[in-house]
Amino acid sequence: QQKVQQSPESLIVPEGAMTSLNCTFSDSASQYFAWYRQHSGKAPKALMSIFSNGEKEEGRFTIHLNKASLHFSLHIRDSQPSDSALYLCAVSMGYQNFYFGKGTSLTVIP
Amino acid sequence: EAAVTQSPRNKVAVTGGKVTLSCNQTNNHNNMYWYRQDTGHGLRLIHYSYGAGSTEKGDIPDGYKASRPSQENFSLILELATPSQTSVYFCASGDRLGDAEQFFGPGTRLTVL
């Protein structure tokens, strides 16, 4: 069974900082990798996804995937207080069964 | 934007009672999912469906049943609720087309006393 682990569990950064979140997975056959953001009391919402090795940038957010090392990451440039949330990584092999990590709680201090 | 709704939003049930959680999506997505979210465990998949009439077991299906009577509706059924099933339940829909994004409903907070 796929194991998905996130680090760190929690993170506090000052406004304007670069934030880096990590996710490791166990099955090298995985095909879909995504980050979701969940504000307190709300539903998770997709941020970005990637299917092949490399980087993908959308605005302040960059996702980086290295399948060989079973690792992908999310980088947030110029972190804002509104970015404070629980960040969940998700991995899937066949677009049917998705595995989520336990999440990283991010707090951005003004 | 894609729309997924859940009902009820909050539910208090008694141990041994039957609970049905409902989910409706207007995205015309083939796939639908039921997750529970607990502190320290993240999101865990209970059941999912590829389309009307189909249900598949996820990672933690014990104590739960699912029903997909139509493309739009997906229900989660707890035949004999137990306190260990106290949790927040999320429904989601998605499709393998495009970026395979899942769209989540607002969640149902279930308390089993």
A102 touches chain B (CB under 8 A): yes
Closest residue, chain B, to A42 (C-alpha): B106
Query: Within the 40-59 window of chain A, which residues sit less than 8 Å (CB to CB) from chain B?
Result: 42-46, 49
Predicted pLDDT of residue B95: 80
Between CA B92 and CA B81 the distance in angstroms is 22
Residues recorded for chain A: 110
Lowest mean pLDDT among A10-24, B35-49, B73-87: B35-49
pLDDT in tens, B39-83: 888 899 999 998 999 999 998 999 999 999 999 999 999 999 999
Statement: residue B96 has pLDDT above 80:
no
Predicted pLDDT of residue A92: 87
pLDDT band at A89 (very low <50, low <70, confident <90, very high): very high
Statement: residue A93 has pLDDT above 60:
yes
CA distance A49 to chain B (A): 7
pLDDT in tens, A62-75: 999 999 999 999 99
Q: Sort out which chain B residues have CB atoms less than 8 A from A90's CB and list them.
A: 102
Instruction: Name which of A40, A50, A100 to mutate to probe chain B: the one with the most chain B Cβ atoms within 10 A of its Cβ.
Output: A100
Statement: residue B97 has pLDDT above 60:
no
Predicted pLDDT of residue B2: 56
Cβ B100–A103 below 8 Å, yes or no? no
Predicted pLDDT of residue A104: 97
Q: Sort out which chain B residues have CB atoms less than 8 A from A45's CB and list them.
A: 104
Q: Which residue has the higher pLDDT, B97 or A52?
A: A52
Omega of the bond leading into B83 within 30 degrees of 0 (cis)? no
CA distance A42 to chain B (A): 6
CA B79 to chain centre: 15
Determine what percent of chain A is predicted with pLDDT higher than 70: 98
Cβ B102–A46 below 8 Å, yes or no? yes
Predicted pLDDT of residue B39: 85
Statement: residue B108 has pLDDT above 90:
yes
Instruction: Write the residue in B44, B96, B104 that is nearest to A44 by C-beta.
Output: B104
Give the residue among B50, B46, B39, B84 at the shortest CA–CA distance from B62.
B46
Cβ B42–A98 below 8 Å, yes or no? no
pLDDT in tens, B6-34: 999 999 999 999 999 999 999 899 999 99
